[in-house]
Amino acid sequence: MSIATRIDQGILAIGFDRIDKKNAITAAMYQTMADALRAAESDSAVRVIVIEGKPEIFTAGNDLEDFMKRPPTQGSDGAQPPVFQFLHAISHATKPVVASVSGAAVGIGTTLLLHCDLVYASDTAKLSLPFSQLGLCPEAASSLLLPRLMGYQRAAEKLLLGEAFSAQEAFAIGLVTKVLPVGELSDYVRQQAAKLAALPASSLRETKRLMKGDDVAAVAKKMAEEGEVFRRMLVAPEAKEAFTAFFEKRKPDFSKFD
């Protein structure tokens, strides 16, 4: 199983469970997560959602083989690709979403955090947005939310260079709620989630709705705009060179592209 889900005492845990591939996310995994988030909306047994990885790694982001062989396209029935269903579900979740991040959180592993309410990271967490290194562009409304969160110039460094940054830096720029020693992370997340699960669901729902306000529509609009560019760039030669280089364990050569 690549995504493990369980409901216990009001907490739905959604866990990346594909450690041999560094928890890289396939279309099937996005679909499982999207379905779990949607089901949680109408399940009164779920009061809070926790998204977690493994102590060694949160996720290596989108599966690069999937990107190459099965780029996300709309189904013949008009259904959105699983990754967009997941992003829609997490950005519209009305119940609190808590992230537990340890080790690398690459690409969507970092951008999904922009849609979580509480983000707890271990001191070993390394976040990165390597879209430009892959010949791609930002997704998950990160081109809107990151500059807003940390200021344009700091966001530009993260999105243009795509270099990894520490949990401490993520905390300083407001992307992470609290940094904990790696051995304490999962217990702390459980405690915080249990506190939320014990609070009145209506208060949490209304608080979240009031804080997000008009942003929900702006985020959806930006995601659609990014999605269009992203899909085009995914099948362009720059991305092909980047993905091939990753699997050939060499540096990509972008010098031949304008």
The residue ranges that bind ligand COA (CB under 6 A) are 21-22, 24, 60-65, 104, 106-107, 130, 134, 246
Q: In the Cβ-directed half-sphere of 53, how many Cα atoms lie within 13 Å?
A: 34
Smallest gap from residue 218 Cβ to ligand COA (A): 23
The residue nearest ligand COA at its CB is 107
Smallest gap from residue 142 Cβ to ligand COA (A): 11
Measured from the CB atom, the residue of 20 and 214 that comes closer to ligand COA is 20
Smallest gap from residue 11 Cβ to ligand COA (A): 27
Measured from the CB atom, the residue of 16 and 120 that comes closer to ligand COA is 16
b/e 198-224 (16+ beta carbons within 10 angstroms → b)? eeebeebeeeeeeebeeeeeebeebbe
Kindly tell me the burial class for residue 12, based on how many C-beta atoms sit within 10 Å of its own C-beta (0-12, 13-18, 19 or more): buried
Query: CA separation (Å) from 176 to 5, 60, 109, 117?
Result: 23, 18, 13, 10
Smallest gap from residue 87 Cβ to ligand COA (A): 13
Give yes or no for a contact between 59 and 105, defined as CB atoms under 8 angstroms apart.
yes
Smallest gap from residue 66 Cβ to ligand COA (A): 7
Measured from the CB atom, the residue of 128 and 186 that comes closer to ligand COA is 128
Give yes or no for a contact between 158 and 145, defined as CB atoms under 8 angstroms apart.
no
Give yes or no for a contact between 111 and 55, defined as CB atoms under 8 angstroms apart.
no
Smallest gap from residue 70 Cβ to ligand COA (A): 12
Measured from the CB atom, the residue of 52 and 63 that comes closer to ligand COA is 63
Measured from the CB atom, the residue of 171 and 246 that comes closer to ligand COA is 246
Measured from the CB atom, the residue of 26 and 85 that comes closer to ligand COA is 26
Give yes or no for a contact between 228 and 222, defined as CB atoms under 8 angstroms apart.
no
Smallest gap from residue 162 Cβ to ligand COA (A): 9
CA separation for the pair 126, 82 (Å, rounded): 26
Place of tokens 């399940």: 43
CA separation for the pair 86, 91 (Å, rounded): 8
CA separation for the pair 191, 26 (Å, rounded): 30
Closest by alpha carbon to 117, among 99, 105, 139? 99
Measured from the CB atom, the residue of 21 and 178 that comes closer to ligand COA is 21
